[in-house]
Amino acid sequence: GAGVSQSPSNKVTEKGKDVELRCDPISGHTALYWYRQSLGQGLEFLIYFQGNSAPDKSGLPSDRFSAERTGGSVSTLTIQRTQQEDSAVYLCASSLDIGRAPDTQYFGPGTRLTVL
Amino acid sequence: DQQVKQNSPSLSVQEGRISILNCDYTNSMFDYFLWYKKYPAEGPTFLISISSIKDKNEDGRFTVFLNKSAKHLSLHIVPSQPGDSAVYFCAATLLNNAGNMLTFGGGTRLMVKP
């Protein structure tokens, strides 16, 4: 497809379980971003990748969160030992070139995560 | 500490009239601002942007105004159409930082009534 895709679209899990969220960026986009939107809140930046490298992980809420990107394409966001406060919509975005400003970020539809 | 704020959670406007969505920021280092529009169950889509060196940018029915001294920007939609009904997010970024990550406001839900 032409846009950013994310899977699954919805995920319901039990507290304490691990989850993996996947993002397929637009082909050729070197930058990839993860955000989350909790209920009634704005979008919160989590992490970004330039190629396969994540230079700054300080936006991740806790050490239960990790992300990786392979081949400069697909990225996975992993949440270990999920907690109820992790419930949110997790959004992925990609852009053409992180070093060229301004650089429009294109968002996927998001994964709605519900932790029971 | 919210660096970008949208103080109106919702706005209702009659079709054909002007919609004005407001956004305030606290970080004077931000040098690029964007508006995104979001429909339910979809990701945000880019609408319009403005560099901090400008005070106005226009694209069709959409105009963004920036008042740097007041740390305030606004999005004007004229004329408003029912299809404009969505949540609008204001975002800001530092162009020279390593990442161009966006700092978003909480969003304003716009409802355009026919």
pLDDT higher than 80, residue B1: no
Q: In Å, how far is B70's CA from the nearest CA of chain A? A: 22
Asked if the C-beta of A108 comes within 8 angstroms of chain B's C-beta atoms, the answer is yes
The per-residue pLDDT for range B81-102, each reduced to its tens digit, is 999 999 999 999 987 666 678 8
Which residues touch A21 (CB under 8 Å, ≥6 apart)? A6, A7, A8, A11, A76, A77, A78, A79, A90, A111, A113
**Interface touch A101/B32, C-beta < 8 Å:** yes
Chain B nearest-CA residue for A50: B99
Outline where DSSP puts E strands in A8-72.
10-13, 19-24, 31-37, 43-50, 65-69
The per-residue pLDDT for range A55-76, each reduced to its tens digit, is 888 889 999 999 999 888 999 9
Residues of B in Cβ contact (< 8 Å) with A31: 100
The per-residue pLDDT for range A19-42, each reduced to its tens digit, is 999 999 999 898 999 999 988 778
**Interface touch A109/B41, C-beta < 8 Å:** yes
Omega before A8 within 30 of 0, i.e. cis: yes
The per-residue pLDDT for range B3-35, each reduced to its tens digit, is 999 999 999 999 999 999 999 999 999 989 999
CA distance A26 to B61: 28
The per-residue pLDDT for range B22-72, each reduced to its tens digit, is 999 999 999 899 999 999 889 999 999 999 999 999 999 999 999 999 999
